[in-house]
Amino acid sequence: MASKSAKSSLATLTIAAIGIVYGDIGTSPLYTMKEVFSKDHGIALNYDNVLGVVSLIFWALTIIVSLKYVTLVLRANNRGEGGIMALTALAMSSVTQKSRWHYPVMLLGMVGTGLLYGDGVITPAISVLSAIEGLGVATPALTPYVLPLTIMILVALYMLQFKGTAGIGKWFGPIVVVWFTTLAGMGIVNIVLNPEILHAVNPLYALQFLGRNGWLAFVVLGAIVLAVTGAEALYADMGHFGKRPVRLAWFMVAFPALSLNYFGQGALLLSNPDAVSNPFYQQLGPWSIYPLVVLSTMATVIASQATISAAFSITQQAISLGFLPRMRVIYTSDREIGQIYIPLVNWVQLTAVILAVVGFGSSSALASAYGIAATATMLTTTILTFFVVRYKWRYNLLLCWAATGFFFIIDIALFSATSLKIVSGGWFPLVISAFMVTLMLTWKTGRELVFDNLKLHAIPLNDFLQSLFVSPPHRVEGTGIFFRAEGDGVPHAMLHNLLHNKVLHERTVFLTVFNADIPTVSAEDRIQVIPLGHRCFQINVHYGFKDERDIPLALQLCKRDGLEFDMMETSFFIARQTVISRVGGGMAHWREVFFAAMSRNARDAADYFRVPTNRVIELGTQVEI
């Protein structure tokens, strides 16, 4: 029975992984072949070039997705969690803070995160737009309605985000399974009609294509990479499903279906070169276009949902790791902690997506912007993986170079090819990434400056308590909890309370939150209670970057140390810092002003830590940076 249950659970997880993990890469056949043979690239549509292109796509899927991501990168997980933020945290812990590599690794992680935000804007835009463009293929008279209809679908998708995916998520897997089955079926039909395309399995056709076309082939690599966009998603979503379901979903469903469809599109172009205008929608003839538009729209909406959810997860992790200011996070599921909704991210991303759709106007124009975001992200992942393999796993240097160097050369080649499109659209994700890196770096540096300033004027806690109880103040009933930063001295809120109210609670607690660079911290390791004497205690609360910050829930764990908390008898004292920029400080003046603005608008600490608002006392303090 246990064996049957395990098999059933594995099958369920694998189907779910097909829907969420491979929705993005699964929609690539909509536009990849069309872009490769675009007139802008100047590649002649002939027998040798069609086989060369199909061979390149097949081996790109094999090497980049099957070997690099599914085989190697999935091993570089942070206690089961994947994604650029988890990998960055793992790499940073590998090199330690004292290492000369610590700052470069952190910066590289920020760049990769920024690029993923850019990718998260372009994926919904290009996916939904390319699906709706099928209407123009069916009836040219419908072409003017493509953009408005795309925008309507995207707005509806983002407006529904606050409900979460718990209700409709169960349909994602089956719909994408139907999508992949359709891809495979269409491919087989065209392969049977022209089986010569199967020669493209031979990698010599790819090498001959590169050698024969020289510079033009290098330019075309920027379009070939569209076939592997979405590979980062299978790594990012590993934590939701585990390595085995993600691998099974790839090798049993996604990889065969994608390969068959690309071979099928190649066979179609050999038989009917006129189909190059949109080979995907012409694989089965005019009768199939409208059903394909409906099915591809559902598939692209699911692919878009995956990138939107990823943006929420990345943001939550970045906040937990101290890269972004606190924001309002809404949990949309009582059972799945990973299902969250961040209103600010949702509406900012929607605005950027609509600007991309309107500004670029077509999936072909967006393809230029798409490639560079994907290749740059893949390159950062490879470099970060090297640091994990070398410094965390401590493999031999030669083996590390062998394991990651091969992929590094491929990533550099693809990134260089997509860099040619910077002027024609590649600048868009780079601008988004640059803005996000600036924001994260400013917040991280600003917080360090604030901490350094507070530390400079800090009074050692133990010495303070020793002198305080020589002539103790009047003590009142109840518990007073003072939030205290890592390594900080006496909390400013306590000093203000003693100065103005001249009382101390019967039980006084100093609470420090520690953010670990691992996904989750177990309940056993969550709380550490340190008695300080005179009914004073230091409580350390440890959270991973995926843990929900809930202080009242964490305090319940103190029962095992003999401390119980009644919320109606407990007061939380929080110092609200007002940051003041001064000329000649630690950052450029504009960055200090930017940081001060972020600090003012950051989510309230009490709200972020789920502290009851009627039990909070805020005391202000000014900090110069």
* Half-sphere exposure for 10 (CA within 13 Å, toward CB): 11
pLDDT at residue 8, as a whole number: 54
- Looking at 457-540, list the stretches that DSSP marks H as alpha helix, in order from N- to C-terminal side: 461-468, 492-500, 523-526
pLDDT at residue 431, as a whole number: 93
What end-to-end distance do the CA atoms of the chain give, in Å? 63
Residue 449 lies in a domain: no
On whether both 476 and 403 belong to a single domain, the answer is no
The Cα 20–Cα 13 span in angstroms is: 10
- Looking at 242-362, list the stretches that DSSP marks H as alpha helix, in order from N- to C-terminal side: 243-249, 255-271, 289-320, 343-360
Scanning the structure block, which residue is given the tokens 């994260």? 440
- Helix (H) or strand (E) holding 448, with range, is helix 427-456
Axis-axis angle for helices 47-60, 215-224 (nearest 10): 50
Closest among 43, 127, 617 to 366, alpha carbons compared? 127
Structure tokens at 218: 């290098």
**pLDDT tens digit sequence for 349-372:** 999 999 999 999 988 888 888 888
Per DSSP, the residues of 402-424 read HHHHHHHHHHHHHHHHHHTTIII
Structure tokens at 79: 């206690």
CA distances from 200 to 52, 410, 609 (A): 7, 20, 57
On whether both 487 and 403 belong to a single domain, the answer is no
- Among 426, 449, 482, the domain-final residue is 426
Within 10 Å of residue 202's Cβ, how many Cβ atoms? Answer: 14
pLDDT at residue 339, as a whole number: 73
Better-scored residue on pLDDT, 29 or 603: 29
Torsion of the alpha carbons at 515, 516, 518 and 522, rounded to the nearest 10: -90
On whether both 409 and 490 belong to a single domain, the answer is no
Scanning the structure block, which residue is given the tokens 């103040």? 473
Work out whether strand 616-624 and strand 570-580 pair parallel, antiparallel, or are unpaired: parallel
Is pLDDT at 499 greater than 90 in this prediction? Answer: no
- Among 382, 411, 426, the domain-final residue is 426
Is pLDDT at 539 greater than 50 in this prediction? Answer: yes
On whether both 386 and 275 belong to a single domain, the answer is yes
- Among 379, 406, 426, the domain-final residue is 426
Most confident option among 13-22, 194-203, 324-333, 355-364: 194-203
Rg (CA), the chain: 27
Torsion of the alpha carbons at 583, 586, 591 and 593, rounded to the nearest 10: -50
The Cα 264–Cα 398 span in angstroms is: 41
- Residues 123-142, mean pLDDT to the nearest whole number: 88
Residue 446 lies in a domain: no
pLDDT at residue 525, as a whole number: 93
- Residues 304-315, mean pLDDT to the nearest whole number: 85
Distance from chain centroid for Cα 556? 32
Full domain range(s) for residue 164 = 2-426
On whether both 161 and 202 belong to a single domain, the answer is yes
Residues forming a β-bridge with 23: none
The CATH code of the domain that includes 158 is 1.20.1740.10
> Residue 361: which region, alpha, beta or left (left: phi > 0; alpha: psi -120 to 50)?
left
402: Cβ contacts below 8 Å, ≥ 6 apart: none
Scanning the structure block, which residue is given the tokens 């950052």? 587
What pLDDT band is residue 584 in, cutting at 50, 70 and 90? low
Residue 387 lies in a domain: yes
pLDDT at residue 586, as a whole number: 76
On whether both 417 and 526 belong to a single domain, the answer is no
What's the pTM value of the predicted model, to 2 decimals?
0.85
On whether both 491 and 388 belong to a single domain, the answer is no
**pLDDT tens digit sequence for 461-476:** 988 999 999 888 999 9
List % helix, strand, coil for the chain (3-state, nearest 5). Answer: 70, 10, 20
On whether both 511 and 560 belong to a single domain, the answer is yes
What pLDDT band is residue 167 in, cutting at 50, 70 and 90? low
pLDDT at residue 550, as a whole number: 92
Residue 347 lies in a domain: yes
The Cα 523–Cα 527 span in angstroms is: 8
What pLDDT band is residue 611 in, cutting at 50, 70 and 90? very high
Work out whether strand 340-341 and strand 330-331 pair parallel, antiparallel, or are unpaired: antiparallel
Residue 134 lies in a domain: yes
Better-scored residue on pLDDT, 436 or 19: 436
Is pLDDT at 527 greater than 90 in this prediction? Answer: yes
Residue 534 lies in a domain: yes
On whether both 477 and 607 belong to a single domain, the answer is yes
Per DSSP, the residues of 93-158 read HHH-TTSTTHHHHHHHHHHHHHHHHHHHHHHHHHHHHHHHTHHHHH-GGGGGGHHHHHHHHHHHHH
The Cα 178–Cα 123 span in angstroms is: 21
Residue 443 lies in a domain: no
Within 10 Å of residue 47's Cβ, how many Cβ atoms? Answer: 12
pLDDT at residue 585, as a whole number: 65
- Helix (H) or strand (E) holding 208, with range, is helix 203-213
The Cα 96–Cα 103 span in angstroms is: 10
Distance from chain centroid for Cα 32? 23
On whether both 312 and 215 belong to a single domain, the answer is yes
Residue 536 lies in a domain: yes
Is pLDDT at 1 greater than 60 in this prediction? Answer: no
The Cα 25–Cα 233 span in angstroms is: 9
The Cα 597–Cα 595 span in angstroms is: 5
Q: How many domains is the chain built from?
A: 2
CA distances from 478 to 284, 418, 550, 572 (A): 75, 63, 21, 11
The Cα 106–Cα 318 span in angstroms is: 12
Closest among 262, 255, 364 to 56, alpha carbons compared? 262
**pLDDT tens digit sequence for 204-262:** 999 999 999 999 999 999 899 999 988 877 787 777 777 888 899 999 999 999 999 99
pLDDT at residue 169, as a whole number: 67
pLDDT at residue 7, as a whole number: 57
145-149, 309-313, 315-319, 436-440: segment of lowest average pLDDT: 309-313
On whether both 399 and 519 belong to a single domain, the answer is no
The Cα 480–Cα 623 span in angstroms is: 24
What value does the mean pLDDT of the chain take?
88
Is pLDDT at 5 greater than 90 in this prediction? Answer: no
Indicate the SS3 state at residue 388. Answer: helix
pLDDT at residue 168, as a whole number: 64
On whether both 484 and 399 belong to a single domain, the answer is no
